[in-house]
Chains A and B, each alone.
Chain A
Amino acid sequence: MRTAWRKVVRDLWLNKGRTLLVVLSISAGVMAVGMILASNTLMERQMIRAQQASRASSIWLFLDGLVNETSLSGIERLPEVEHAEGRIGGDIRWKLGLEGEWQDADLLAIEDYEKQDLDLLELRAGSWPGTDTLAVEWTQQAPYGLPALGNTLYLEVGDRPRPFTVSGVLRDPSQAAPPFSTQPAFYVTRDTIESLVGYRDFSQLRLGIRNYSEAEAERVAGIVEDRLKREGIGVNFRWLQSPERHWAQDIMDGIGLVLAVMAVASLGLSAILVVNTINAIIAQQTPQIGIMKTVGGVRRQISRLYLAGVAIYGLISLLLAVPLGAVAANAYASWILSILNVPVPTTQLVPATLSIQIGAGLVVPLVAALWPILRGVAISVREALSPYGLGSGAYGNGRIDRLLARVRVLPPMVILSLRNTFRRMGRVALTEGVLITAGAIFMMVVTTHHSFTKAISDIWGGLGFDAFVFFSTPQRIQEVEPIIAAHPNVKRVEMWIWRSATASALGDANPDEEVQVTLQGVPRDGKMFAPTLTAGRSLQPQDGHALLLNQKLARDLGVSLGDQIELDLGEDGTSTWTIVGLIFDLINNQETAYVHTDTLNLDMHQAGRASLARVQAVDDSPAGQTALVEDLRRRFEDLGIELSLAQTSFEDQEAAEAQFSILTTILMTMTVVMAVVGSIGLSGTLSINVIERRREIGVMRAVGASSRDVGLIFMGEGLLLGVVSWVQAVPLSILAGRPFVQAIGGIIQFPGRYHLAVNGLWIWLGIVLVLSLAASWLPARRATQISVNESLAYE
Chain B
Amino acid sequence: MTENAALIHVEDLVKDYDGPAGPIHVLKKVNLQVKPGEFVGVRGPSGSGKSTLLNMITGIDHPTGGRVVVNGQDLLALGEDGLARWRGANVGVIFQFFQLLPTLTVVENVILPMDFARKWKPGERPDRALHLLEQMELSDQAHKLPSTLSGGQQQRAAIARALANDPPLLVGDEPTGNLDSKTADIVFSQFESLVKAGKTFLMVTHSNSLARRIPRVIEVLDGQLFENGARPGR
Are B87 and A296 touching (Cβ within 8 A)? yes
Flag B76-112 by CB within 8 Å of A: 1 or 0 each. 0000110011011100010101010111100010011
For B112, give the chain A residue with the smallest CB separation. Answer: A3
Q: Nearest residue in B to A378 (C-beta to C-beta)?
A: B80
Q: Which of A730-778 contact B (CB under 8 A)?
A: none
A7-B103, A385-B60 in contact; A1/B108 too (CB < 8 A)?
no
Contact B93 A294 (CB under 8 A): yes
Name the residue on A nearest B82 (C-beta).
Answer: A298
Partner of B55, one of A6, A298, A382: A382
A570 at the interface (CB under 8 A from B): no
Which residues of B lie under 8 Å from residue A49 when comparing CB positions?
none
Residues of A within 8 A of B156 (CB): none
Q: Which of A1-47 contact B (CB under 8 A)?
A: 1-4, 6-7, 10-11, 14
Interface status of A678 (Cβ within 8 A of chain B) = no
Is there a chain B Cβ closer than 8 Å to A299's Cβ? yes
Closest B-chain residue to A293, C-beta based? B84
CB distance from B133 to the nearest CB of A (A): 14
Which residue of A is nearest B88, CB measured?
Answer: A296
Q: Quick check: is A300 within 8 A (CB to CB) of the other chain? A: yes
B101 touches A296 (CB 8 A): no
Q: Does B122 contact A (CB under 8 A)?
A: yes
Question: Which of A295, A297, A381, A382 sits near B161, CB closer than 8 Å?
Answer: A295
Which residues of chain B in 94-138 are interfacial with respect to chain A, using CB atoms and an 8 Å cutoff? 95, 97, 99, 101-104, 108, 111-113, 115-117, 122, 125
Which of B95, B97, B101 is in CB contact (< 8 Å) with A288? B101
CB of B93 within 8 A of CB of A301, answer: no
Asked whether, in the complex, the Cβ of B111 is within 8 Å of the Cβ of A382, the reply is: no
* A12 (CB) vs chain B CBs: closest residue: B103
B153: interface (CB < 8 Å): no
Minimum CB–CB distance from B63 to chain A (whole Å) comes to: 12
- CB of A295 within 8 A of CB of B87, answer yes
Interfacial chain B residues near A575, Cβ < 8 Å: none
Is A300 a contact partner of B84 (Cβ separation < 8 A)? Answer: no
A795 in contact (CB, < 8 A): yes
Q: Is B164 an interface residue (CB 8 A)?
A: yes
- The listed residue (B108, B116, B122) touching A298 by CB distance below 8 A is B116
Let me know if B84 and A6 touch, CB within 8 A.
no
Residue in A closest to B100 when the chains form the complex, CB atoms: A291
Contact present for A1 and B115 (CB under 8 Å): yes
Cα(A293)–Cα(B117), bound, Å:
11
Q: How far is the CA of A630 from the CA of B113 in the complex (A)?
A: 90
In angstroms, Cα B101 to Cα A4, docked, is 10
From 251 to 310 in chain A, residues with beta carbon under 8 angstroms from any chain B beta carbon are 287-288, 291-301
Find the B residue at minimum CB distance from A8.
B103
The smallest C-beta distance from B90 to any residue of chain A, in angstroms, reads 9
By a CB distance below 8 angstroms, the chain B residues around A292 are 101, 112, 116
Shortest Cβ gap from A782 to chain B (Å): 18
| Per-position binary interface string of chain B over residues 181-211, scored 1 when its CB falls under 8 Å from any chain A CB and 0 otherwise | 0000000000000000000000000000000
Instruction: Report the minimal beta-carbon distance from A476 to chain B, rounded to whole angstroms.
Output: 93
B103 close to A10 (CB less than 8 A): yes
Inter-chain CA distance A294–B117, complex, in Å, is 12
Count chain A CB atoms within 10 A of each CB in B88, B111, B161 and give the residue with the most: B88
Cβ contact within 8 Å between B60 and A294: yes
**Complex partner residue of B97 from A3, A300, A382, A794, CB under 8 angstroms:** A794
User: Which B residues touch A301, using CB under 8 A?
Assistant: 116
Residues from chain A with a CB closer than 8 A to the CB of B164 are 295
B84 engages A11 (CB within 8 Å): no
Q: Is A665 an interface residue (CB 8 A)?
A: no
Tell me how far the C-beta of B82 lies from the nearest C-beta in chain A, rounded to whole angstroms. Answer: 8
Taking the nearest CB of chain B, how far is it from the CB of A129, in angstroms? Answer: 73
When the two chains form their complex, are residues B101 and A381 in contact, meaning their CB atoms are under 8 A apart? no
Q: Say if the beta carbon of A380 comes within 8 Å of chain B.
A: yes
Candidates B55, B88, B93; contact of A297 at CB < 8 Å: B88
Residues of A within 8 Å of B116, CB to CB, are: 1, 4, 292, 295-298, 301
Asked if A296 and B104 make an inter-chain contact with CB atoms under 8 angstroms apart, the answer reads no
**Contact between A380 and B111, CB atoms less than 8 A apart:** no
A4 to B88, CA, bound (A): 15
B60: min CB distance to chain A, Å: 4
B165 close to chain A: CB less than 8 A: yes
- B58 at the A interface (CB under 8 A): yes
Expressed in whole angstroms, the minimum distance between the Cβ of A49 and any Cβ of chain B is 54
Does B74 make an interface contact (CB < 8 A)?
no
Q: Which residue of A lies closest to B95 (CB)?
A: A385
Question: Whole-angstrom distance between the alpha carbons of A4 and B80 in the complex?
Answer: 20
Q: Which of B80, B104, B122 contacts A299 (CB 8 A)?
A: B80
Taking each of A292, A300, A378, which has the highest tally of chain B beta carbons within 10 Å of its own beta carbon? A292
| Distance to closest chain A CB from B218 (angstroms) | 21
CB distance from B172 to the nearest CB of A (A): 13
Contacts known (A300-B81, A382-B55, A385-B60); A295 close to B103, Cβ less than 8 A: no
In the complex, B61 has a CB within 8 A of chain A:
yes
Residues of B within 8 A of A296 (CB): 84-85, 87-89, 113, 116-117, 165
Bitwise, A434-466 to B at CB < 8 A (1) or not (0) is 000000000000000000000000000000000
On whether the beta carbons of B61 and A382 are closer than 8 Å, the reply is: yes
Q: Return chain B residues, CB-CB under 8 Å to A1.
A: 115-116
A221 to chain B, nearest CB (A): 75
Contacts of B115 in A (CB 8 A): 1-4
CB-based contact A298/B81 at 8 Å: yes
CB-based nearest B residue for A388: B97
Separation of A300 and B82 alpha carbons in the complex (Å): 12
Determine whether the beta carbon of B101 is less than 8 Å from that of A291.
yes
A3 contacts across to B, CB distance below 8 A: 104, 108, 111-112, 115, 125
Give A6 to B122 CA distance when docked, in angstroms: 15
A10 touches B89 (CB 8 A): no
Question: Which residues from chain B contact A381 at a C-beta distance below 8 Å?
Answer: 55, 59-61, 84
Q: Residues of A contacting B103 with CB < 8 Å?
A: 7, 10-11, 14
Complex interface: chain A residues within 8 A of B99 (CB): 287, 291, 294, 385
Cα-based distance from A297 to B113 in the complex (angstroms): 7
Given A296-B117, A298-B85, check contact A7 B97 (CB 8 Å). Answer: no
B103's closest neighbor in chain A, by CB? Answer: A10
Measured between C-beta atoms, what is the minimum distance from B101 to chain A in Å?
A: 6
Most chain A CB inside 10 Å of its own CB: which residue of B85, B102, B125, B165: B102
In the bound complex, residues from chain B placing their C-beta under 8 Å from that of A795 are 102
How many Å lie between the Cα of A795 and that of B146 in the bound state? 11
Given the contacts A291-B101, A382-B55, A299 and B81 also touching, CB distance less than 8 Å: yes
Is the CB–CB distance between A6 and B104 below 8 Å? yes
**Contact call B122/A297, Cβ cutoff below 8 A:** no
In the bound complex, residues from chain A placing their C-beta under 8 Å from that of B95 are: 385
**How far apart are the CA atoms of A288 and B97 in the complex, in Å?**
12
Determine the residue in chain A with the shortest Cβ distance to B114. A3
- How far is it, in angstroms, between the C-alpha of A380 and the C-alpha of B83 when the chains are bound? 11
Bound complex: CA of A294 vs CA of B158, how far in Å? Answer: 12
Are A380 and B84 closer than 8 Å at their CB atoms?
Answer: no
Whether A6 pairs with B60 at a CB distance below 8 angstroms is no
B58: chain A residues at CB < 8 Å are 294
When C-beta atoms are compared, the residue in chain B nearest to A1 turns out to be: B115
Q: How far is the CB of B118 from chain A (nearest CB, A)?
A: 9
Q: For A794, give the chain B residue with the smallest CB separation.
A: B97
Using Cβ atoms and an 8 Å threshold, which residues of chain B touch A385? Answer: 60, 95, 99
Contact with A along B12-29 (1 / 0, CB 8 A): 000000000000000000
Q: Are A297 and B84 in contact (CB under 8 A)?
A: yes
Q: How far is the CA of A470 from the CA of B102 in the complex (A)?
A: 82
Tell me which residues from 139 to 177 in chain B have a Cβ below 8 Å from any Cβ of chain A: 161, 164-165
The 4 closest A-B pairs by CB, nearest first: A296-B88, A296-B116, A295-B113, A10-B103
Supply 8 further A-B pairs (C-beta < 8 A) apart from A292-B101, A293-B84, A385-B95: A7-B104, A7-B108, A291-B101, A292-B112, A295-B88, A295-B93, A296-B89, A296-B165
A contact set with B: CB distance below 8 Å: 1-4, 6-7, 10-11, 14, 287-288, 291-301, 378, 380-382, 385, 794-795
Q: List 13 A-B contacts (CB under 8 A).
A: A3-B104, A4-B115, A4-B116, A292-B112, A293-B87, A294-B58, A295-B88, A296-B88, A296-B113, A298-B116, A380-B61, A382-B55, A385-B60
